[in-house]
Amino acid sequence: MATRDFSRLNGSFDLCIIGGGINGAGLARDAAMRGLSVALVEKGDFASGTSSQSSKLIHGGIRYLQNGDFKLVFEALHERWMLTKLAPHLVRPLQFLLPVLKSDPVQGLMLKAGLTLYDTLAGFHNIHGHRMLSRSQVLEAEPTLDTSQISSGAYYYDCQMNDSRLCLENVLSSMEHGAVCVNHAAVTEFVKAGPQLVGAVVQDRLSGATATVHFKVAVNATGPWSDQILRLSEPTPPKPRLRPSKGIHVVVPRRTSGEAMLVRTRDQRVIFVLPWGRYSLVGTTETEYRDDPDKVSASEDDVMYLLEELRRLFPSPAVDRKDVFGTFAGLRPLVDSSSLPAGKLSREHSIITETSGLLTVIGGKYTTYRVVARELADRVMERLHKPGASLTHTVPLYGGDTGPMPAFLARHLARAVSVTGLESTAEHVLRAYGSRADDVLRCCQEVPRGTERLCLHTDTMRGEVAYAFTTEMAQTVEDFMLRRTWIGYGECGGRDAWPAVREVLVDHLGRDADAMDAQWLDVNKRSGNVSNPAT
Ligand code: FAD
């Protein structure tokens, strides 16, 4: 059971990681598995920054082939395969329909060449080879596409993931290896010996308490916030390194009949229309962002851009503003390496040693987090003069010890159904928690009416509220509604589930009712659930 213990930060560690997004969480796991003493502090919830706002794809990034980023694509395709082994419950293969529009510059042989290269770069670890499709095959697959625009198409394959839970599982796994990880804890100041950093003052954003973490090495893994940390840490802060680029997604009623889709936009970008439970997740946009990273949100222009592209593809029934259930907005922490537009900037990561000794990591993709973590941990070991190689490729993630999912489901579904009473809730538990599903089912049995669904829009059960708060370090209503689960992004914005969530929090876990009500009011602001505001 992972518990948040802020007071444990008052101590000495080999490594202090600032930022609990996927890069910080991945590093915590890698370093703790090598035997280092590790502290990780995250000012919000784990994955509350960019790492819960992604397109939720573990992918090679087919569009980067156009930029000639072959090394990145090759590495990402290898990681795609690796993550299907390490976290099969959270990373699953997905078929993509790529409809070619008459206006697309890439057609026929050129498209075939690109997809062949993508398959080749995946090598023996490919999910499935691509298949070219005729116009009628595309329309048969997606009959509601605008028939007048389609010229041909193709199927290709990548993976879909649960970004916030994959990040969380890295945190939980690192804690099993001894790391001290604390969410809602922000670094506010550094302790220095001359120019060198030797400690960090951390503020508990829940209680207001402070702690001082002493460390031998510190890593700045704050993604879009990394320039802010540099302003605190460096004797002479360097000029901003980041060119943050905002990307948003909208959650709308399901538009595709099953597969994911990748389509070219009128301004020659690509967007995804992804199956996401009973919804479609549509995105993303790419616009320069210079404001405070804490304030990033989807603007009306961003939302309308995506809706117009969606209406162009699927003219009937046309998706309207009122059909948008929720929005995501995140910042790509891109390295400011050239004057190219954000869409053309490389997704390669960069690790910089600052004058103060701080290691800063920026850039990269979610997909390649394990590679970034390994490289960072290698650098830390070098600094500490300690031997030890990365083990993250050998040990499954926190709930990942399932083996192939179809066989796992076949083995465990009947028993899970005997506990939950419904096949859909049983399957949800097995897929969300993988090899930890039994712990969750036990917890659900201990909570009054714990195996009942929170509402009709979700398969999440009442007992999972207790599990999230007691075992997965959820601290606030938002942590539960937007990251341990995605209930807050759904069609009722979590409104229908809230009475049951509240009951478990207040009656079963003894939380203060007024505090919970106040936190609930904040959830809809963050989820962008404007069509169904909280009442
Ligand atoms: P973050 O996740 O932002 O983590 C940094 C953390 O630092 C934050 O949680 C923040 O709260 C914390 N922090 C800040 N200041 C402090 C402080 N003072 N003290 C303590 N903590 C602090 N990649 C893919 O591979 N696949 C995709 O489908 C994909 N889609 C994307 C879609 C969009 C719209 C965007 C924006 C990115 C996408 N990416 C994707 C890229 C990927 O999501 C990011 O590269 C990755 O999430 C970055 O993780 P990070 O840990 O560096 O940053």
d(CA 229, CA 213) in angstroms, rounded, equals 16
Q: How far is the CA of 112 from the centre of ligand 1 (A)?
A: 33
Q: How far is the CA of 151 from the centre of ligand 1 (A)?
A: 37
d(CA 326, CA 59) in angstroms, rounded, equals 24
Q: What is the mean pLDDT of residues 98-112?
A: 87
What CA–CA distances, in Å, run from 430 to 279, 340, 413? Answer: 20, 44, 8
- The percent of residues above 70 in pLDDT, for the chain, comes to 96
Q: How far is the CA of 353 from the centre of ligand 1 (A)?
A: 20
Is 114 close to ligand 1, i.e. is its CB under 6 Å away?
Answer: no
Find where tokens 């503020």 sit. 203
Instruction: Please give the pLDDT value at position 535.
Output: 30
pLDDT digits (tens, 9 = 90+) for 263-301: 989 888 899 999 998 899 999 999 999 999 999 999 999
- Whether the CB-CB separation of 435 and 399 falls below 8 Å is answered with yes
Which two three-digit tokens encode residue 281?
């997740």
Is 51 close to ligand 1, i.e. is its CB under 6 Å away?
Answer: yes
Beta-strand ranges (E) seen in 72-141 are 91-101, 131-133
Find where tokens 């000495």 sit. 12
Which two three-digit tokens encode residue 362?
């920026």
Q: How far is the CA of 21 from the centre of ligand 1 (A)?
A: 5
Mean pLDDT, rounded, of the chain: 93
pTM, two decimals, is 0.96
- Identify the DSSP state of 204: E
Instruction: Please give the pLDDT value at position 368.
Output: 96
Instruction: Please give the pLDDT value at position 132.
Output: 97
Pairing of strands 270-276, 131-133: unpaired
Instruction: Please give the pLDDT value at position 532.
Output: 39
Q: How far is the CA of 332 from the centre of ligand 1 (A)?
A: 7
Which two three-digit tokens encode residue 70?
């072959």
What CA–CA distances, in Å, run from 194 to 191, 352, 356, 357? Answer: 10, 20, 9, 11
Q: Which of 55, 58, 282, 350 to mutate to test the pocket of ligand 1 (most atoms within 8 A of CB)?
A: 55
pLDDT interval class at 57 (50, 70, 90): very high
- Identify the DSSP state of 309: H
d(CA 19, CA 324) in angstroms, rounded, equals 31
Q: What is the mean pLDDT of residues 242-258?
A: 91
Q: Which residues are CB-contacts of 179 (< 8 A; sequence separation ≥ 6)?
A: 28, 29, 31, 32, 38, 39, 40, 171
pLDDT tops 80 at residue 339: no
Instruction: Please give the pLDDT value at position 524.
Output: 73
The residue whose CA is least distant from atom 38 of ligand 1 is: 54
Q: What is the mean pLDDT of residues 385-389?
A: 95
* Residue 467: strand, helix, or coil: helix
pLDDT digits (tens, 9 = 90+) for 215-224: 999 999 999 9
